[in-house]
Amino acid sequence: MRSKYSGHVGMFMTTEKPPVAANARSAYYVALDGLRALAVIMVFFQHYGAGRAFVFGWGWTGVDIFFVLSGFLITGILYDSQHRPHRYRDFYIRRTLRIFPLYYAVWIAILLLTPVAQWQWSWRWALWPMYVGNYARFLFLHIPGNPYRFDWITFGPVVNAWFGGPMHLYIGHFWSLCVEEQFYLIWPFVVYQVRRRETLMKICIGVIFVLPLVRWLLSVVLPAPLLHMELFYRSLPTRIDALLIGGLIALCLRGPEQVLVRRIRRPLLAVSAALFVGLYLVSIKLLRLPLEGSASNWIGILGFTLIDAFAAALILECIHPGSLLGRIMSFKPLRALGIVSYGFYVYHDLLHDFYSYFANRYFPKHAYPVTLFVAFSCTVILSTISYRVLERPMLRLKDRFTGQVHTAPRV
């Protein structure tokens, strides 16, 4: 039996087929749908509640879960298909049919709305459709103005006057899609050219251990404004270890190392969490370093690695047969959100100003909870419609034109 992975392989992979038995060679990891839902919920509360509660301020770590999951799944697909005659064609056709339709549909809609919205365009906005928008805020620091202005598109005077203030379309969260797309352009060539599993594992391990040192060196030589604007967090060269941590466990599960990997999943959860808490206490309480979320230097240097190791352990625990976490993440409502998580991620922050305006205009005494409710509900509705009308037809089309499937290792 074959299990066709019909979604965005990596951050938002979904399936349209029921899961097969957990011990089957091609078992579909049901719990990973729930893990995607958890990650996208974390990101949602980061954008809508970081200033309201301390725990919401850590919602950005949901992106790390996505990155590690991407590396895990994409490496598995590439390794399993490396001897297929049309491996490059199959891989890129499937990724194109999954990722591009929704992403570019949003950009086409933005373009068509220009006469009404009167967007304040510049040629630099083209960086986002080219999947390099994650570098936009860093490339033009020499230009006067708010460096964060490339994370949103400002409406024209007519719309702003109607709403009584400046309104924006938020696109800054697309940065993680850019990072993933850049990874997709590089990693297939490495896997297909190197081929040997042991060599690929050495590459992953080497990058994982070297990158914290690279980030430390960069923290010394780079200007402070670049670091404060989350350069480490948003750039593929400084985040590729997150993707390769996922890739490493995928490769381990395809060899004799799988026994060891299964055994260390819970110790890895505990040790990575304990080390991060220790790093936090030393940095904040002892060294009095500032806590600036994902822009904190101490998080960027060592914290990312520990967070990504924790995410890898979460994945291993989710896919382990009979695990409690796996059963929790297989809860149907979570899985339902996980299936549409790509659209949820794309849409969730776009209309942030409009949800806030509605809540403050009509429910001023309860504006914040109403904003959360309206934003979450509308995003679920939009992403569900998007999945059924746009994404699912593309999923069927990609399975028709290519034969590449993901065969999961036995665990």
Compute the C-alpha angle 275/279/281, nearest 5°. Answer: 115
CA distances from 337 to 4, 171, 186 (A): 19, 21, 30
Specify whether the CB–CB gap between 192 and 88 falls below 8 A: yes
- Domain for residue 292, yes or no? yes
Q: Please count the structural domains in the chain.
A: 1
Note the pTM of the prediction, 2 decimals: 0.91
- Domain for residue 385, yes or no? yes
Continuous segment of H or E residues that includes residue 168 = strand 168-170
String of DSSP letters for 197-240: HHHHHHHHHHHHHHHHHHHHHHHHHS-HHHHHTTHHHH-HHHHH
CB under 8 A, 24+ apart: contacts of 253-256: 253/76, 253/409, 253/411, 254/76, 254/79, 254/80, 254/197, 254/409, 255/197, 255/198
- Domain for residue 389, yes or no? yes
- Of 145, 10, 15, the C-alpha closest to 65 is 10
> What is the per-residue pLDDT across 242-263, written as a single tens digit (0 to 9) for each?
999 999 999 999 999 999 999 9
- Strand partners of residue 152: 170
CA-based Rg of the chain, rounded to a whole angstrom? 21
Q: What is the DSSP letter of 265?
A: H
Residues in contact with 372: Cβ distance below 8 Å, sequence separation at least 6, in sequence order: 48, 49
Neighbouring CB atoms inside 10 A of 241's CB total 27
Continuous segment of H or E residues that includes residue 177 = helix 175-194
**Percent of the chain having pLDDT more than 90?**
77
- Of 243, 7, 191, the C-alpha closest to 84 is 191
Q: What pLDDT is attached to residue 143?
A: 80
* C-alpha span between 231 and 61 (Å, rounded): 15
Taking only the tens of pLDDT, the chain with its 411 residues reads 333 333 334 455 444 333 333 333 345 788 999 999 999 999 999 999 998 999 999 999 999 999 999 999 999 999 999 988 889 998 999 899 999 999 999 999 999 999 999 987 778 889 999 999 999 989 888 788 888 888 999 999 999 999 999 999 999 999 999 999 999 999 999 999 999 999 999 999 999 999 999 999 999 999 988 899 999 999 999 999 999 999 999 999 999 999 999 999 999 999 999 999 999 999 999 999 999 999 999 999 999 999 999 999 999 999 999 999 999 999 999 999 999 999 999 999 999 999 999 999 999 999 999 999 999 999 999 999 999 999 998 888 876 655 545 444 544
Full residue range of the structural domain in which residue 343 is found: 31-401
> What is the per-residue pLDDT across 162-177, written as a single tens digit (0 to 9) for each?
999 999 999 999 999 9
- Domain for residue 83, yes or no? yes
- Domain for residue 304, yes or no? yes
- Domain for residue 124, yes or no? yes
* C-alpha span between 383 and 391 (Å, rounded): 10
- Strand partners of residue 153: 169
- Domain for residue 279, yes or no? yes
String of DSSP letters for 240-254: HHHHHHHHHHHHHTT
Specify whether the CB–CB gap between 341 and 12 falls below 8 A: yes
The separation between the first and the last C-alpha atoms of the chain, rounded to the nearest angstrom, is: 17
Q: What is the dihedral of CA 171, 177, 178, 180, to 10 degrees?
A: 170
- Domain for residue 9, yes or no? no
